[in-house]
Amino acid sequence: MDVSGPLTVLSEEEAMFRDMVREFAETEIAPHVREMDEKATFKPELLQKFFELGLMGVEVPEEYGGTGASFFMAILAVEELARVDASAAIYVDVQNTLVNNCLLRWANEDLKKRYLPRLCSEAVGAYALSEPNSGSDAFGLQTRAVEKGDHYVLNGRKMWITSAAEADIFIVYANVNPDLGYKGITAFLVERDFPGFAVGKKEDKLGIRASSTCELILEDCIVPKENIIGEVGKGYKVAIETLNEGRIGIGAQMVGIMEGALEAGMKYALEREQFGQIIAKFQAVQFQIAEAATFLEASRNLVYNAARLKDAGQSFLKEAAMAKLFSSVYAERVTSRMIEIFGGYGYTKEYPVEKFYRDAKIGQIYEGTSNMQLQTIAKYLLFKK
């Protein structure tokens, strides 16, 4: 049962791409979702298929091995994957909206040539900003980088790093001069086999369980100077502007979660009988379906609008924050309502809605909590000149 947005908002190319991703998700990913969730492990062969389909380099120009498509196309891919499995979606989301985007916008030509082809064809990337004592206060990070001849030596720990278990390439933020505060923060490109770098424990999470979330340990980690992304001391700017784009991706993930849950709820309402009729004929159920569909469409429009603005080169800071805020709040509400439509069955793992519900909660936490989005929106409205 399809609750996708109207095709009139998509070009023919976009519609074909969306349908390709949807077919792949339904045929290749869906059969493994329950097992991957229970085992908290994503199948490596599915990651390889992401590369083969070009899903890990959607916006990367062809000269670097990507498909040369738009940011909006990457957002469509995230939505369609999340409709089936939010864990699958976040691998593609982080790769495209954070890692690749960061390199495309801030890296020099040497870094682009060395790393983008790998990120498009074989190497999973991860984005390492958060630390044990540095979450919403991202620029209070304690990881340090000390200059030593032709390289920097990094020491510190990173936490909550998505895709870390599978990643070979990491964008790591460290402070080269704590006396300068956030103006000492610098972005480094770190490879998994660099001396002094290690991936630590994997978190046992409530939702998106098949997506790995790990700590990183840097103990005298040696990073060549040529692996600095952007300029020394400009890491805070790299991080802020990259995360602004990443929030649109999280919004797309929440839209996909809502879509999958609503489709499951509608299908069940047309099959389940009580008091001699299908429950879809009861006004109470109809109202819940109608309200959920409205929240879904509003969220999708916010996300699509932010993505279109980004592709058009226009300001999208406020729109990205609004898209993430609204879609994550209502993803939790919509998935909860769908559990209620299923009744007791919805509370069991036999049906898919409990997983959609668990997966939805993360949207209000990562890549900027809901409170941080509210702060961003308010500051933009009140103080932007």
Catalytically active residues are 367
Rounded Cα gap, residues 17 and 278, in angstroms: 36
Rounded Cα gap, residues 314 and 354, in angstroms: 38
How remote is the C-alpha of 312 from its chain's centroid? 21
Phi/psi of residue 146, nearest 5 degrees? -115, 130
Place of tokens 């979606």: 89
